[in-house]
Amino acid sequence: MGNSLQLIEDSAFLRADRRLDTELADKVILQLNRIYPQILTDKEATKFRNLDVPTSVRLGELLTHLQEKGEEACREFYRALHLHVEEVYYSLPTRLRLRDSMDPLAIPHVYEQRYVLNDRGPFFFLGCFGFAVGVALLYYYSEAKVSGGSRALGMAALGLKRKAQEVLIWYTEESFMK
């Protein structure tokens, strides 16, 4: 499919998309004007950058102008759009259809954004939570009711760093002296 036909299909989307605001539209217009003055002259660029005209109207006029200029002008517009507004470029209806047509057997995917804090799953969380609750209960009841609770803390100190070992061993020795 030619770029001018693609531009005809994409023009309604481009005029309606709020992500292509005045600033980004101006960047695309300036890119076309500075790099390819044969596509967009200074006078035409000034006309399409007129802030008194709403952005969607200016974009519609620019797209019509580019379609009249031909394939190269449309191709350079797509390049400028890709360079300055990549998220809009990849959201274009013709780009989406092209991407989906690459794999004809694929079922249309709904892309869901997922935030993963860890990938270990719910049982890991439950195991850690249960361990923390067990240590908390052991600590809470160790002085009053559970005999040997402080011994468990002393045994837990075996795998810890030097400072943590000293604190836990000190705690167990103090509870033995009571």
For residue 100 the two structure tokens come to 């989906």
115, pLDDT greater than 70? no
78, pLDDT greater than 60? yes
Write down all domains in the chain, each with its CATH number in brackets: 3-102 (1.10.533.10)
Reported as a pLDDT band with limits 50, 70 and 90, residue 146 is very low
50, pLDDT greater than 50? yes
SS3 letters for 66-93? HHHHCHHHHHHHHHHHHHHCHHHHCCCH
